[in-house]
Structure 1
Amino acid sequence: MRDRTLRQVFAVREYRAVWLADLLSVAGDQLARVALAVLVYGRTGSAAWAAATYALTFLPAIVGGVLLGGLADRFPRREVLAVTDAARAVLVGVMAVPGLPLPALCGLLVVVVLLGAPHTAARGALLPELLPGDLYERGLAVSQITGQTAQVVGFAAGGLLVAAVSPSSALALNAVTFLAAGLLFRFGLARRPRADTTTRTGARDLLAGVVDIAGDPRRRALVVLVWMVGLYVVPEALAAPYADQIDAGPAVVGLLMAADPLGSVLGAWLFVRFV
């Protein structure tokens, strides 16, 4: 029964386009993370700089979710998905230019991560439309497992690519994956009208929501637990300095970064299989 439901998920043509686009962009992102870790540590020799740059691949999303997430409701979601991926392809392409100053590299990285906020919001709102009922839950499970698998492959391949060629080449490949994902969204999804924005959330509503969560011990505990997830990326942020300390190359950097998502893949599979 479970296998038949999973096949039904992939029978939805538009979901297949979203799923493939996600795999491409996730794998490309991991290539870029390995490249940035090796590039920044190679230039500065500083573990702090390498960790700070790695943090920039996550931290701006906190602000972006609040400031830019609403764009997913103001414009048709297909266009939001395609345009944000196209814009990120251009920005990462610029980041791939050899010799780009480190401050410019970090600035472009912040913008790339910020653009992920409306992209994620549009994708999250679109999936329930593509997968009604129980299919939605199965679709989320499939996306979670395959997305983590793409992270493992992206990290491992990124380390090998950086070792064989250069960090700039890995960044250029990330730009190509963003472009391919944008084309999949543009031509693989039907055009839908933008969402109803009559109930658009304002700053006052946002503040009221924060106060409401802070006043509920159960919700507050969930938020704290989610924040603690950020601690799991610390080993990834230190992979490049650690690999240098043990006299290993970029390929080992990729393998060290791949260890975390590999554990997530195994844990998700065990949960789905036995729980």
Structure 2
Amino acid sequence: MTPTAEPAQDSRPATYREVLSEPRFRLLFTTRTVAITAGALRITTFSVLVFSATGSALLSALAFGSGFLPQLFGSLLLGSLADRLPPRALISGGYALECAAALLLALVRMPVAASLGLVALVALATPVFSGASSRLVAQCLEGDAYVLGRSLNNIAASGAQLSGLALGGAAVAVLGPHRALAVSAALYSGCALAVRIRLPRLRPEESGGTPGSPRGDGGTVRASLRGAGLLLRGHAVRRLTLAQWLPPAFVAGAEGLIVAYAGEHHFAPGWYAVLMGCLPVGMLVGDLLVGRLLRPPTRERLVVPLAALMGLPLVGFAAGPGVGLSSCLLLLCGFGFAYGLGLQRPFLNALPPDGQGQAFGLLGSGSMTLQGVGPACFGAMAADLGTGGAIALAGGATALAACWILTWQPPGSARRAI
């Protein structure tokens, strides 16, 4: 696989109206937003159930991250399918699988270990259908429209997380946790049906993929491992991938401790949902302002400052702030997530044309896996440091990651350095 030649950089910003006028993107955008709402409802309800049953901050954090941890393995072993199989079947099948998992959690009273295992097993397949979806988006949108499309997805993800948290609190209060999980399953089912009915049936080559049979004597696994190795051996792809993996992973470690932090500091019931909602609010505002108001070169110059903004507010949790200050710190942290917009065009330009689906799957699965490792690691540290100290440590690690990006992306020469 050889990288594509980098196109001339257009400094003209696209518009959200231009992006949403593309029918396939509009469908993928809508269903993804609903699915994120369902996922936030499922994972929050599941985390609360585990914490209520065990009283363990570590198990609660593991419940929060159990859908993330196995995704990297799925990408490494199955990722090539995202470029080989028809995207409609992959995307609708992925949503159907998530629906089945939520239904099992809702209807079958399983031990905590079995529930964690079920969520982890489903997560193995996530990189395949998410990679196919991201590859279609990259084919639908060009230039700054692609970056704005990613911005819209981030904004929708933030809003969907808020909706999921609000819906989760209301559904658990009115319906109980198991019926709330059934609501999550219904939302996933709607996404699967919408994609199956409305997305055209495209062959892999029609959507930029690589046709070929995934069958044979371990063919899929060998092709997936070989493709991942080729991608990560590329210096630019590896560096840009790590830059998008590490800061969110450290912040996820802090996010996974919010429920326990609220309990440890005796906040009123329900305040954990308010605190968890501050991160997506900050993300929504950050992506909206940075994505829409700033020109592409400016976004790319702001990568390091925004990445540092993700981590530095979290250091303030070492002082054990109350609800008001904690909310402000988390809002600032969420705003910093807009740093990723400045990396989108360089990352896409560095990818080979015949492995984009696997590359997007690897990017997403690696990020999700590390965001699963983060809560587990910092949850374990909370036993010695307290939840506030562990959150502050996660913030310091995020700031250090921003410093690492600065070593290869000097201010004022972002595109040239990348």
TM-score normalised per structure 1: 0.87
Secondary structure at 2:107 match in 1: coil
> Is this contact kept in 1: 2:19–2:141, CA < 8 A?
yes
- Deviates further, 10-19 or 38-47: 10-19
User: Equivalent pairs: percent with the same residue?
Assistant: 28
| Alignment counterpart, residue 253 of structure 1, candidates 261, 272, 286 | 272
- Corresponding letter in the other structure for 2:287: A
2:80 partner amino acid: G
Query: Shift in Å at residue 163 of structure 1?
Result: 3.1
2:210 to 196, 199, 203: 196
Shift of 1:76: 0.2
User: Deviations for 1:39-82, whole angstroms, at most 9, x for unmatched residues?
Assistant: 00011111111112212122222222222222212210011001
Amino acid at match of 1:92: A
Q: State yes or no: 1:68 paired with 2:90.
A: no
Q: Write the distance in 2 (CA, Å) between the matches of 1:237 and 1:23.
A: 22
**1:159–1:252: 8 Å Cα contact kept in structure 2?**
no
CA contact (8 A) 2:88 2:196 kept: yes
Match for residue 57 of structure 2?
Answer: 47
Which of 284, 287, 290 in structure 2 is aligned with 1:265? 284
Name the structure 2 match of 1:210: 232
State whether structure 2 residue 48 is matched by structure 1 residue 38: yes
Partners of 1:230 and 1:268 in 2: how far apart? 18
The gaps in structure 2 that reach 5 residues or longer are: 1-11, 214-219, 295-418
Q: Which moved further from structure 2: 22-31 or 149-158?
A: 149-158
* 1:117-128 pair list within 5 angstroms: 117-128=127-138
SS across alignment from 1:231: helix
Contact 1:23 1:150 in 2 (8 A): yes
C-alpha change, 1:244 and 1:102, in structure 2 (3 Å) is: same
Q: How many residues align?
A: 270
TM-score in terms of structure 2 length: 0.59
Superposition map of 1:161-240 within 5 A:
161-194=171-204, 195-197=209-211, 201-213=223-235, 219-220=238-239, 223=242, 226-240=245-259
The corresponding residue for 2:117 is 107
**1:107 Cα deviation after fit:** 1.1
Cα drift, residue 120 of structure 1: 1.0
The one-letter amino acid paired with 2:268 is: A
Could you tell me which amino acid in structure 2 is paired with residue 124 of structure 1? Answer: S
Does the aligned pair in 2 maintain the 1:153–1:258 contact within 8 Å?
A: no
CA distance in 1, matches of 2:153, 2:243: 25
| Local SS of the residue matching 1:96 | helix
Q: In 2, Cα distance between the equivalents of 1:110 and 1:253?
A: 24
Q: 1:98, CA displacement in angstroms?
A: 5.4
Structure 1 residues 43 and 26, CA, compared in 2 at 3 Å: closer, same or farther? Answer: same
Where does structure 1 lack aligned partners over 5 or more consecutive residues?
none
Query: What amino acid does structure 2 have at the position aligned with 1:262?
Result: V
Q: CA deviation at 1:136?
A: 2.8
Q: Which residue of 1 aligns with 2:168?
A: 158
1:157-186 C-alpha deviation (Å, 9 max, x unpaired): 212322333221221111111111111111
Query: 2:210 corresponds to which letter in structure 1?
Result: D
Amino acid in structure 1 at the alignment position of 2:279? D
Structure 1 position 198, deviation (Å): 5.8
- 1:143-154 counterparts in 2 under 5 A? 143-154=153-164
Match of 2:147 among 112, 133, 137: 137
- Segment drifting more, 84-93 vs 149-158: 149-158
Please name the residue that 1:90 is paired with. 100
Mean Cα displacement is larger for which, 69-78 or 189-198? 189-198
* 2:265 corresponds to 1:243: no
Structure 1 stretch displaced more, 39-48 or 64-73: 64-73
Larger Rg: 2
**How many Å apart are 1:212 and its aligned residue?**
4.2
8 A Cα contact 2:91 2:192, kept in partner:
yes
Q: 1:183 to 1:222 in 2, by over 3 A?
A: closer
- Cα 1:131–1:208 change in 2 (3 A) is closer
